[in-house]
């Protein structure tokens, strides 16, 4: 039988037993009877049991009496992987040491414990050998990284065949390199169970700058949008957020951190092209760890967005507004559009304005199509009927890349343009009387007014829009302005149910009706005001302003006075005259239906070309339209009819009676984006430059459509590690599938040669000796296919090493990873030392000899026996 | 002589107590005399000297107590055996891939073999253990006195196509030497520089370097590539070739698909350089083999196998999807190569699907035989409580390293119009989180609850125009997610040498595997896994006769970088275990002392009784 420690026995009392090596020797204990037979005659007789006990203990020790316990059937080899990286606190290392001691003491005899410490790389601290003492867990150099997978690989080499295998992972799970999840299948296949126990964290009141988000590449003319995410695991506190650009403080803001997660946005201007380092830092008193209080982001400011605008006009308002945004716009005649795709390499966007097919050569059209489809370039095609209706575009590459079809002419309208009509109906008390017999309360006036409204609703078409407001002293909206297709039934039900009540004030009703009509994007907008009396509201000035507003919105108002009340007819006349409507005084309410029908018919008569206006309305919600007020979009004098192609989206459209004609549409074509504006900016949209939203709309459209990087752009990002600096160079040449790239870095004299190796298409990597933080000029020589060029740029080396950044990025344990490692290997998470080593008992037995306990007891009993006899003898006979 | 339990002497206080008891008793006894006259002249010191006059009983008691104490201490005698033992020898031989490097007509392993045999022959009458070092250490032979048999075993050693990991092998060697009571010498035969292992291991170890040749050309990496927004049919391959040597190399790279040559490139590689070869639009599927033809020192890394999956659309079943979502998902056909095979309110017919998408539905349990995507479930999966909704939740944090986010800039996801507030389930990992007010909630959780993958997208795609050109990052996220969930399976596995693959067949007690060298291996239920020691094709033969393939590739830049600085062998000046040339055997005799103690107990008792009886 194997030997076992006393502490192990005491820790496992459940399966204790007794065994004797030489049982027959126990018979010698019978000699203890001698002590009882030949016992002292006096009080010393009490010593007999003591002597007998001592003798029995000695006999038992001679026979080899043992305490036994059963052990698990198989030997366990436990490899402890102890994380000693920077994210583990010093107190946690001490804790890990104690935990290992507890594990070791709870191992069954024969079980083995090996220890691997790891940070960036693993080291075997103790082998699974009984002769190897438990090592002191210390933190070596090179701790700013955590590679759990490497530790697992090292541990897997320490397991002997045939034993039970377990991996004890004392780590917070925040791996910064490697992929431990990829080892799960191997561990499962080998039968290794993972027990993860994250060391406790001493102080949880930590503020951490969790993320500094910035685009990797930004054009020189755009501000750099930054977002800072701060996590606070303590209570509310004050802090200061500092922003640095290339090491210089650019902004500082006091913050109140009163939530576990807060985000802060900022815009930074960085006009100088090349690489830059943005650093965000959060400072607060009482923070547990300061290593995770700052983050850096590498940003490459590329050259300004370059746009080529081809137009037949001498002046282009579109070019002007885009240029004012800092974009480099070159305007050329369409005949001078490049025909070689290489000539588009520096461009981000091409705008074609009011072009006809004959303005473009075939070669230019082919190059443009490839520029968009293959090279991801952006294209805006703007023009009216002369452009989109030019038959010679049919079959050309231009037709293929547009998001709309080219139609020669606009179809005849199948239906008239819709009418937006508001019925504003007086429901005051007086409307409950007869229109001719003023004292007869038979509801005639209101009844016929409502009947007139019903007839109008019946007369109009589904695409017309009708709203109804009934007013007394206040307006009551019966229905907002809605298409009759959805609203007709409701109106026909609701109108007859209006009853008379209250006073008379139609001002607010007119205001409400006017607002709704203003927002509707239809050409014809009309209000019919039916009342039998004067408004209670004084203040003609108010009405004057209202009339002017309605007129400006091109809303006509027909006013109808019902009955014999002639008070203040002038007001109604002024309202109708000021808005281009009609005034009627109807003494017999029964004439109202006919009157209303005639008035409505006038409102829906066809518009002449001189009066025809096309009002673009929003289509699909899109970032191009962000911040644009739909109601402010000016009308178009004309536009080219076209149809949306599948997968394209209409952002602005004109609502016709039976269709919606796209005005501004977008889609993705190949790798690029294309926008089509089916109106001539200089003719159909001639009044648009005066519109306050014109610059916003066109600049947003240009930035959205333009490609992010041109073929000539390149970005170099540096990451610093303790002993080296990695450079990653990205080209944006779409033909780059791996060429030869070399560089020369100016870090003093002599310059440093940088040999880049291809990592993936368009991405090259180089490793060089460690560089100090700062910005360095880099000359890059590329040979990609037939494309050879030299470019100078600036590479910015961050101050925070990448390993360190990743190491301190987390404030909490990676419970997700630890849980997955343990769950999928049938291990445990957060178990105690005893639980980690606990296994079902098997048939193996170990023993602990009791002689070490019995003999001291025998010695004590013997001494007590002697003492008792001597004392008894002394008392009996004190004389010598 | 010595004691096995010297701590027993702590109980010496019992003997001290016995003496103190005797002295106390003596002090208590009074002697009645008729007159002090005769004693007046006796000096005080004489009287005092004669005070300690133990009787025979005391000596018996002392002897008994001493016997008990001595027995507990368990003394032993050392007996020397002249074993004629000249100590032990442990040979650690590197069996990694780089040992196959050709060195002037032979290989590094052959050089190591010759060195090891010379060491053996120079040291007669030693027990020898041989440990092989590769990905894992392996005891080739335990301690054996038969030198010729050991030499024969060494002669049959084969290098494996795996990385070097010397430290575990050295750990085993060190442990074996600690367990030995005789002098043990450890010799290491490897091409790994001595300074690259830790000081803990290299002290006390003799080092025999093997090889210096740096002339090696290798296929460093093979990636199958698919362009942005391209479909699977337009897959290409990019092959990186690295010249580790110090001289310019010429060679050719051939690419075959299912045995048919599809491309060949001649090249010249400058020293210490990497070149990349792109083969776009292979328009083929099957086994892709890349091979280098060049004169170099290590042929192992001149070949690569990978699999171009046969095109098969991802089959998606929709459960409970709103018409808007169903319509949008159906338009993914071109982008995701996905087809909607079923859309039912309750998911009765989801069989045959690669992914089941639940929209506004929380299933009782996640199916184990198909990947699952929950989109905006109305109830939390874990708690079953109705999920509250957040509007306009901005994306705030994400896991940069997860493959679901590959190629996506999560910043551009901006915000979700509608987001369900859910908990991350135990199997899940939060990949994307969103914020509304001061609250952070998971937006996308992925994981593997059982044998298939699952994901929960808290954002309601039914409210998002994710096919819009304005929401391309969201579309890419959905495509990535579908691709990740589908986990297109095939009967082919591509792995790296050194990996272990689980291949146990629950229906068969033993699984037969044909390794790349044509040797049959038998994997039983107890073993469960197959270690991929060699590059090439492993054929796993199932019980029904079907075969599945595992393509094992060797890829290790450290192993391929075979150049070494010339170094002389290092002779260790000390060994781990400084044992003598003789063997010591301990013979303890504590039991006999216990017997003597027992007899003394009886003897003392008898003497005590007699002294009482006689007055």
pLDDT, tens digit, 9 for 90 and up, residues A685-736: 888 888 889 999 999 999 999 998 888 888 888 988 777 899 999 888 776 6
User: Using CA atoms, how far apart are residues A25 and B157, in angstroms rounded to an integer?
Assistant: 56
Q: What is the pLDDT of residues A44-77, one digit of tens each?
A: 788 889 999 999 999 999 998 988 887 777 788 9
Q: Calculate mean pLDDT across residues B444-455.
A: 90
Q: Which of A486-500, B133-147, B192-206 has the lowest mean pLDDT?
A: B192-206
Q: What is the pLDDT of residue A840?
A: 74
Q: Which residues of B touch A59 (CB under 8 A)?
A: 598
A342 contacts: CB under 8 Å, gap ≥ 6: none
Nearest to A210 among B18, B397, B470 (CB): B397
B17 and A262 within 8 Å at the Cβ level: the answer is no
Beta carbons within 10 angstroms of residue A377's beta carbon: 31
The SS3 of residue B8 is helix
Nearest to A620 among B172, B465, B601 (CB): B465
Q: Which of A695-709, B59-73, B375-389 has the lowest mean pLDDT?
A: B375-389
**B-contacting residues of A 168-187, CB under 8 Å?**
185-186
Res A795 pLDDT > 80: yes
Q: Domain range spanning residue B272?
A: 217-308
Listed residue (A457, A475, A471) closest to A421, CA to CA: A457
Query: Quick check: is B464 in a domain?
Result: yes
User: What kind of architecture, by CATH, is found in domain A207-287?
Assistant: Sandwich (2.60)
Query: Quick check: is B606 in a domain?
Result: no
Domain CATH for B324: 3.40.50.880
Res A34 pLDDT > 90: no
Q: Calculate mean pLDDT across residues A843-849.
A: 77
Confidence tier at B328 by pLDDT (50, 70, 90): confident
Res A157 pLDDT > 60: yes
Query: What rounded mean pLDDT belongs to chain A?
Result: 87
Q: What is the pLDDT of residue B578?
A: 43
Chain B CB within 8 Å of residue A622 CB = yes
Q: Calculate mean pLDDT across residues B202-213.
A: 87
Confidence tier at A131 by pLDDT (50, 70, 90): low
Chain B CB within 8 Å of residue A781 CB = no
CA end-to-end span of chain B: 44
Final residue belonging to a domain, choices B45, B80, B115: B80
Question: What are the Cα distances from residue B85, in Å, to B141, B578, B584, B585?
Answer: 19, 13, 12, 14
User: Using CA atoms, how far apart are residues B352 and B357, in angstroms rounded to an integer?
Assistant: 13
Q: Which residues of A touch B467 (CB under 8 A)?
A: 647
Structure tokens at A224: 């750099």
**Residue B569 in contact with residue B208, Cβ under 8 Å?**
yes
Q: What is the pLDDT of residues B116-130, one digit of tens each?
A: 999 988 876 678 999
Q: What is the pLDDT of residue B581?
A: 47
B168 and A823 within 8 Å at the Cβ level: the answer is no
Q: Which of A215-224, A775-784, B80-89, B296-305 has the lowest mean pLDDT?
A: B80-89
A128 and B175 within 8 Å at the Cβ level: the answer is yes
Res B427 pLDDT > 60: yes
CA distance A209 to chain B (A): 12
Final residue belonging to a domain, choices B254, B276, B308: B308
**Are residues B342 and B357 part of one domain?**
yes
Confidence tier at A351 by pLDDT (50, 70, 90): very high
Query: Quick check: is B591 in a domain?
Result: no
Query: Quick check: is B599 in a domain?
Result: no
Chain B CB within 8 Å of residue A157 CB = yes
**Residue B248 in contact with residue B268, Cβ under 8 Å?**
yes
Which residues sit opposite B221 in a β-bridge?
A: B240
**Are residues B112 and B38 part of one domain?**
no
**A-contacting residues of B 393-422, CB under 8 Å?**
394, 396-397, 409, 411
**Length, in residues, of chain A:** 880
Q: Is it true that A207-287 and A306-412+616-705 share their CATH fold?
A: no
Q: What is the pLDDT of residue A196?
A: 96
**Are residues B73 and B96 part of one domain?**
no
**Are residues B190 and B71 part of one domain?**
no
**Residue A405 in contact with residue A643, Cβ under 8 Å?**
yes
B168 and A737 within 8 Å at the Cβ level: the answer is no
A737 and B276 within 8 Å at the Cβ level: the answer is yes
Q: What is the pLDDT of residue B282?
A: 78
Nearest to A263 among B435, B447, B501 (CB): B435
A132 and B502 within 8 Å at the Cβ level: the answer is no
Query: Quick check: is B560 in a domain?
Result: no
Q: What is the pLDDT of residues A264-275, one digit of tens each?
A: 999 988 878 888
Query: What rounded mean pLDDT belongs to chain B?
Result: 82
Q: What is the pLDDT of residue A241?
A: 95
Give the count of alpha carbons within 13 A of A833, CB side only.
19
**Span A723-800: which CATH code?**
2.60.40.3340
Res A419 pLDDT > 50: yes
Res B583 pLDDT > 70: no
Confidence tier at B577 by pLDDT (50, 70, 90): very low
**Are residues B247 and B347 part of one domain?**
no
A559 contacts: CB under 8 Å, gap ≥ 6: A529, A531, A572, A573, A575, A576, A581, A582, A583, A584
**Are residues B205 and B132 part of one domain?**
yes
**Residue B584 in contact with residue B185, Cβ under 8 Å?**
no
CA distance B325 to chain A (A): 16
Q: What is the pLDDT of residue A373?
A: 92
Which residues sit opposite B77 in a β-bridge?
A: B587
What is the tally of structural domains in chain B?
A: 5
Q: What is the pLDDT of residues A161-197, one digit of tens each?
A: 677 899 999 999 988 888 898 888 788 877 899 999 9
CA distance B30 to chain A (A): 5
Q: What is the pLDDT of residues B178-199, one digit of tens each?
A: 766 677 889 999 999 988 887 7
User: Using CA atoms, how far apart are residues A155 and A153, in angstroms rounded to an integer?
Assistant: 5
**Are residues B329 and B474 part of one domain?**
yes
Q: Which residue has the higher pLDDT, B161 or A16?
A: B161
Q: What is the pLDDT of residue A664?
A: 97
User: Using CA atoms, how far apart are residues B365 and B356, in angstroms rounded to an integer?
Assistant: 13
Which of B168, B272, B393 would best serve as a mutation to test chain A binding (most A beta carbons within 10 A)? B168
Q: What is the pLDDT of residues B85-118, one digit of tens each?
A: 567 889 999 999 999 999 988 999 999 999 999 9
Q: Which residue has the higher pLDDT, A131 or A811?
A: A811
B601 and A127 within 8 Å at the Cβ level: the answer is no
User: Using CA atoms, how far apart are residues A85 and B33, in angstroms rounded to an integer?
Assistant: 86
Nearest to B174 among A127, A262, A620 (CB): A127
**Residue B144 in contact with residue B180, Cβ under 8 Å?**
no
**Length, in residues, of chain B:** 615
Domain CATH for B229: 2.60.40.10
Q: Calculate mean pLDDT across residues A795-799.
A: 88
**A-contacting residues of B 74-113, CB under 8 Å?**
none
Chain B CB within 8 Å of residue A128 CB = yes
**A-contacting residues of B 306-365, CB under 8 Å?**
none
CA distance B157 to chain A (A): 20
Confidence tier at A738 by pLDDT (50, 70, 90): low
A292 contacts: CB under 8 Å, gap ≥ 6: A206, A208, A209, A808, A809, A810, A811
B447 and A820 within 8 Å at the Cβ level: the answer is yes
Nearest to B11 among A671, A820, A859 (CB): A859
Nearest to B31 among A42, A54, A879 (CB): A879
CA distance A191 to chain B (A): 9
Confidence tier at B326 by pLDDT (50, 70, 90): confident
Query: Quick check: is B191 in a domain?
Result: yes
Nearest to B171 among A55, A124, A227 (CB): A124
Q: What is the pLDDT of residues B224-267, one digit of tens each?
A: 866 555 555 667 888 889 999 999 999 999 999 888 898 898 99
Res B50 pLDDT > 60: no
Q: Which residue has the higher pLDDT, A411 or B206?
A: B206
For chain A, the structural domain boundaries read 2-71+847-876, 74-203+816-839, 207-287, 306-412+616-705, 419-603, 723-800
**Are residues B377 and B332 part of one domain?**
yes
Q: Which of A362-376, A475-489, A788-802, B209-223 has the lowest mean pLDDT?
A: A788-802
- Report the CATH fold assignment for A419-603: Rossmann fold (3.40.50)
Structure tokens at B218: 């290798």
CA distance B122 to chain A (A): 30
**Are residues B331 and B478 part of one domain?**
yes
**Chain A residue with Cα closest to B591:** A62
Return the percentage of chain A with pLDDT > 70, whole number. 94
Q: Which residues of A touch B411 (CB under 8 A)?
A: 213, 215, 227
B427 and A229 within 8 Å at the Cβ level: the answer is no
**Are residues B97 and B199 part of one domain?**
yes
Q: What is the pLDDT of residue A413?
A: 59
Q: Which residues of A touch B527 (CB under 8 A)?
A: none
Q: Calculate mean pLDDT across residues A751-758.
A: 83
User: Using CA atoms, how far apart are residues A102 and A73, in angstroms rounded to an integer?
Assistant: 22
Chain A CB within 8 Å of residue B225 CB = yes
**Residue B93 in contact with residue B112, Cβ under 8 Å?**
yes
**Are residues B473 and B336 part of one domain?**
yes
Q: What is the pLDDT of residue A450?
A: 93
**Span A306-412+616-705: which CATH code?**
3.40.50.880
CB contact burial B22-46 (16+ within 10 A = b; e otherwise): beebeeeeeeeeeeeeeeeeeeeee
**Chain A residue with Cα closest to B16:** A863
Q: What is the pLDDT of residue A707?
A: 93
Res A100 pLDDT > 80: yes
Peptide bond into A750 cis (omega under 30): yes
Q: What is the pLDDT of residues B138-159, one digit of tens each?
A: 889 988 888 889 999 999 999 9
**Residue A346 in contact with residue A306, Cβ under 8 Å?**
yes
Res A83 pLDDT > 90: yes
Domain A74-203+816-839 bears CATH identifier 3.40.50.410: yes
Q: What is the pLDDT of residue B84?
A: 47
B529 and A28 within 8 Å at the Cβ level: the answer is no
Q: What is the pLDDT of residues A543-593, one digit of tens each?
A: 889 999 999 988 999 999 998 878 888 889 999 999 999 999 988 888 889
A40 and B598 within 8 Å at the Cβ level: the answer is no
Confidence tier at A118 by pLDDT (50, 70, 90): very high
Query: Quick check: is B596 in a domain?
Result: no
Confidence tier at A410 by pLDDT (50, 70, 90): low
Quote the strand ranges of A84-202, DSSP E: 112-118, 122-126, 164-170, 192-196
Q: Which alpha helices (DSSP H) does A520-624 contain, by range? A: 540-552, 569-579, 592-603
Sign of CA dihedral A855, A861, A863, A869: negative
Chain B CB within 8 Å of residue A671 CB = yes
Confidence tier at A744 by pLDDT (50, 70, 90): confident
Listed residue (B563, B560, B505) closest to B530, CA to CA: B505
Q: Taking the mean position of all CA atoms in its chain, how far away is CA B361?
A: 41
Query: Quick check: is B598 in a domain?
Result: no
Q: Which residues of A touch B169 (CB under 8 A)?
A: 157
Chain B CB within 8 Å of residue A58 CB = yes
Three-class HEC string of A235-271: CCEEEEEEEEECCEEEEEEEEEECCCEEEEEEEECCC
Which of B162, B176, B470 would best serve as a mutation to test chain A binding (most A beta carbons within 10 A)? B470
**B-contacting residues of A 484-513, CB under 8 Å?**
none
Chain A CB within 8 Å of residue B204 CB = no
**Are residues B324 and B285 part of one domain?**
no
Q: What is the pLDDT of residue A172?
A: 92
């Amino acid at each position: 039988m194997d030997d076992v420690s006393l502490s192990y026995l005491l820790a496992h009392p459940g399966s204790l037993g007794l065994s004797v090596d030489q049982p027959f020797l126990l018979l010698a204990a019978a000699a203890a009877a001698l002590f009882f037979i030949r016992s002292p005659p006096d009080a010393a007789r009490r010593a007999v049991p003591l002597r007998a006990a001592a003798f029995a203990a000695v006999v038992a020790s001679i026979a080899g009496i043992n305490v036994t316990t059963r052990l698990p059937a198989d030997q366990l080899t436990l490899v402890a992987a102890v994380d000693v990286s920077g994210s583990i606190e010093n107190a946690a290392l001490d804790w890990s040491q104690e935990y290992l001691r507890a594990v070791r003491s709870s191992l069954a005899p024969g079980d083995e414990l090996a220890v691997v410490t790891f940070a960036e790389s693993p080291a075997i601290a103790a082998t699974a050998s009984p002769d190897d003492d438990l090592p002191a867990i210390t933190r070596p150099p090179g701790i700013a990284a955590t590679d759990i997978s490497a530790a697992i690989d090292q541990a897997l080499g320490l397991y002997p065949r045939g034993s039970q295998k377990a991996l004890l992972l004392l780590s917070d799970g925040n791996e910064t390199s490697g992929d431990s999840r990829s080892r799960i299948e191997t561990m499962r296949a080998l039968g290794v169970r993972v027990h993860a126990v994250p060391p406790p964290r001493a102080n949880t009141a930590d503020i951490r700058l969790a993320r500094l988000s910035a685009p990797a590449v930004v054009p020189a003319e755009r501000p750099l949008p930054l977002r800072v995410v701060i996590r606070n695991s303590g209570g509310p506190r004050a802090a200061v957020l500092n922003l640095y650009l290339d090491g210089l403080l650019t902004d500082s803001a006091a913050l109140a951190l009163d939530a576990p997660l807060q985000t802060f946005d900022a815009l930074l201007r960085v006009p100088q092209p090349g690489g830059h380092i943005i650093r965000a830092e959060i400072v607060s008193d009482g923070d547990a760890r300061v290593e995770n209080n700052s983050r850096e982001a590498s940003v490459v400011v590329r050259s300004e967005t370059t746009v080529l605008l081809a137009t037949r006009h001498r002046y282009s308002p579109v070019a002007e507004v885009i240029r004012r945004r800092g974009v480099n716009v070159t305007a050329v005649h369409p005949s001078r559009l490049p025909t070689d795709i290489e000539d588009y390499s520096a461009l981000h966007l091409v705008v074609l304005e009011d072009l006809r097919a004959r303005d473009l050569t075939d070669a230019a059209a082919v190059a443009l199509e490839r520029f968009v489809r293959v090279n991801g370039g952006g294209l805006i095609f703007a023009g009216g009927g002369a452009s989109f209706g030019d038959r010679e575009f049919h079959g050309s590459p231009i037709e293929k890349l547009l998001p709309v079809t080219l139609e020669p002419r606009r179809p005849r309208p199948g239906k008239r343009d819709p009418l937006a009509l508001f019925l504003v109906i007086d429901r005051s008390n007086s409307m409950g009387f007869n229109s001719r017999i003023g004292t007869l309360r038979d509801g005639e006036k209101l009844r016929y007014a409502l009947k007139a409204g019903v007839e109008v609703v019946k007369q109009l078409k589904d695409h017309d829009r009708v709203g109804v407001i009934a007013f007394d002293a206040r307006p009551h909206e019966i229905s907002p302005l809605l298409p009759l297709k959805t609203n007709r039934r409701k109106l026909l039900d609701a109108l007859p149910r209006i009853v008379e009540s209250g006073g008379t004030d139609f001002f607010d009703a007119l205001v409400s009706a006017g607002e709704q009509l203003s927002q509707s994007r239809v050409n014809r907008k009309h209000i019919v005001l039916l009342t039998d009396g004067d408004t209670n509201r004084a203040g003609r000035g108010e009405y004057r302003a209202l009339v002017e507003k309605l007129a400006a919105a091109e809303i006509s108002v027909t006013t109808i006075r019902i009955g014999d009340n002639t008070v203040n007819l002038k007001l109604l006349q002024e309202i109708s005259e000021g808005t281009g409507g009609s005034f009627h005084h109807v003494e017999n309410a029964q004439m109202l239906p006919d009157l209303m029908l005639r008035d409505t018919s006038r409102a829906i008569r066809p518009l002449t070309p001189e009066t025809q206006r096309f009002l673009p309305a929003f289509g699909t919600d899109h970032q191009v339209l962000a911040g644009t007020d739909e109601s402010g979009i000016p009308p178009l004098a004309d536009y080219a009819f076209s149809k949306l192609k599948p997968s394209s989206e209409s952002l602005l459209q004109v609502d016709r009676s039976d269709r919606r004609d796209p005005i501004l549409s977008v889609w993705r074509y190949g790798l690029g984006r294309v926008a089509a504006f089916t109106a001539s900016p200089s003719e159909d949209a001639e009044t648009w430059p005066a519109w306050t939203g014109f610059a916003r709309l066109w600049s947003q459209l240009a930035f959205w459509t333009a490609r992010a990087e041109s073929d000539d752009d390149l970005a170099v990002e540096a990451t610093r590690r303790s002993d080296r600096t990695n450079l990653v160079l990205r080209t944006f040449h779409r033909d780059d599938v791996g060429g030869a790239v070399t560089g020369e870095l100016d870090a003093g004299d002599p310059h440093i040669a940088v040999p880049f190796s291809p990592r993936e298409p368009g991405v090259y990597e180089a490793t060089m000796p460690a560089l100090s933080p700062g910005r360095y000029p880099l000359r890059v020589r590329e040979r990609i296919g037939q494309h050879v060029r030299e470019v100078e740029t600036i590479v910015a080396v961050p101050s925070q090493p990448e390993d360190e950044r990743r190491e301190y990025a987390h404030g909490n344990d990676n419970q997700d990873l630890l849980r997955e490692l343990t769950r999928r290997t049938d291990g445990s998470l957060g178990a105690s030392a005893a639980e980690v080593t606990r296994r079902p008992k098997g048939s193996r037995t170990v023993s602990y000899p009791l002689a070490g306990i019995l003999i001291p007891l025998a010695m004590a009993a013997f001494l007590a026996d002697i003492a008792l006899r001597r004392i008894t003898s002394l008392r009996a006979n004190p004389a010598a | 002589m010595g004691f096995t339990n010297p701590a027993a002497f702590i109980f010496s206080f019992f003997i001290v107590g016995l003496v103190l008891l005797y002295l106390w008793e003596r002090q208590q006894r009074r002697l009645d005399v008729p007159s002090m006259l005769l004693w007046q002249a006796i000096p005080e010191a004489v009287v005092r000297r004669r005070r300690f006059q133990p009787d025979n009983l005391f000596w018996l008691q002392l002897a008994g107590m001493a016997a008990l104490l001595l027995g507990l201490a368990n003394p032993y005698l050392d007996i020397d055996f002249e074993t004629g033992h000249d100590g032990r020898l442990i040979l650690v031989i590197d069996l990694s891939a780089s040992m196959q490097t050709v060195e002037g007509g032979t290989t590094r392993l052959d050089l190591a073999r010759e060195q090891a045999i010379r060491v053996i022959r120079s040291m007669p009458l030693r027990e020898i253990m041989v440990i092989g070092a590769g990905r894992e250490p392996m005891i080739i032979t335990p301690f054996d006195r038969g030198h010729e048999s050991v030499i024969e075993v060494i002669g049959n050693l084969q290098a494996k196509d795996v990385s070097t990991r010397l430290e575990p092998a050295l750990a085993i060697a060190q442990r074996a030497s600690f367990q030995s009571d005789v002098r043990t010498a450890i010799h290491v035969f490897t091409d790994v520089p001595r300074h690259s292992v830790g000081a803990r291991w290299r002290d006390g170890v003799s080092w025999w370097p093997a090889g210096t040749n740096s002339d090696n050309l290798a296929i460093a990496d093979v990636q199958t590539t698919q362009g942005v927004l391209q479909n699977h049919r337009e897959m290409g391959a990019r092959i990186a070739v690295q010249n580790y040597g110090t001289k310019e190399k010429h060679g050719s790279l051939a690419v075959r698909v299912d045995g048919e040559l599809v491309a060949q490139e001649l090249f010249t590689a400058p020293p210490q350089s990497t070149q990349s070869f792109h083969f776009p639009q292979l328009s083929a599927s099957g086994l892709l083999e890349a091979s280098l033809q060049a004169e170099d020192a290590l042929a192992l890394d001149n070949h690569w196998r990978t699999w171009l999956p046969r095109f098969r659309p991802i089959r998606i079943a929709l459960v409970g999807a709103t018409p808007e979502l169903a319509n949008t998902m159906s338009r993914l056909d071109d982008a995701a190569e996905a087809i909607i095979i079923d859309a039912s309110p309750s998911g009765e017919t989801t069989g045959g699907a690669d992914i089941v998408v639940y929209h506004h539905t929380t299933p009782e349990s996640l199916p184990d035989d198909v990947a699952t995507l929950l989109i905006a479930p109305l109830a939390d999966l874990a708690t079953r409580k109705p999920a509250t909704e957040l509007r306009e939740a901005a994306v705030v944090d994400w896991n940069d390293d997860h493959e679901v986010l590959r190629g996506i800039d999560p910043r551009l996801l901006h915000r979700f119009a509608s987001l369900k507030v859910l908990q991350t389930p135990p199997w899940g990992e939060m990949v994307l989180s969103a914020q509304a007010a001061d609250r952070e909630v998971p937006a996308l959780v992925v994981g593997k609850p059982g044998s298939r993958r699952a994901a929960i997208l808290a954002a309601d795609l039914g409210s998002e125009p994710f096919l819009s050109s304005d929401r391309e990052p969201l579309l890419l996220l959905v495509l990535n997610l579908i691709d990740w969930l589908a986990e297109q399976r095939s009967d082919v596995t591509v792995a790296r040498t050194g990996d272990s693959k689980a291949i146990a067949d629950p229906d068969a007690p033993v699984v037969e595997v044909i390794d790349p060298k044509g040797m049959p291996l038998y994997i039983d239920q107890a073993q469960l896994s197959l270690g991929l020691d060699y590059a090439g094709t492993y054929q796993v033969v199932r019980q029904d006769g079907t075969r599945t393939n595992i393509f094992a590739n060797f890829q290790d830049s450290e192993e391929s970088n075979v150049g070494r600085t010339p170094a002389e062998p290092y002779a260790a000046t000390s060994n781990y275990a400084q044992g003598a040339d003789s063997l010591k055997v301990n013979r303890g005799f504590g039991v006999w002392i216990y017997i003597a103690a027992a007899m003394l107990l009886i003897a003392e008792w008898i003497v005590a009784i007699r002294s009482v009886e006689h007055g």
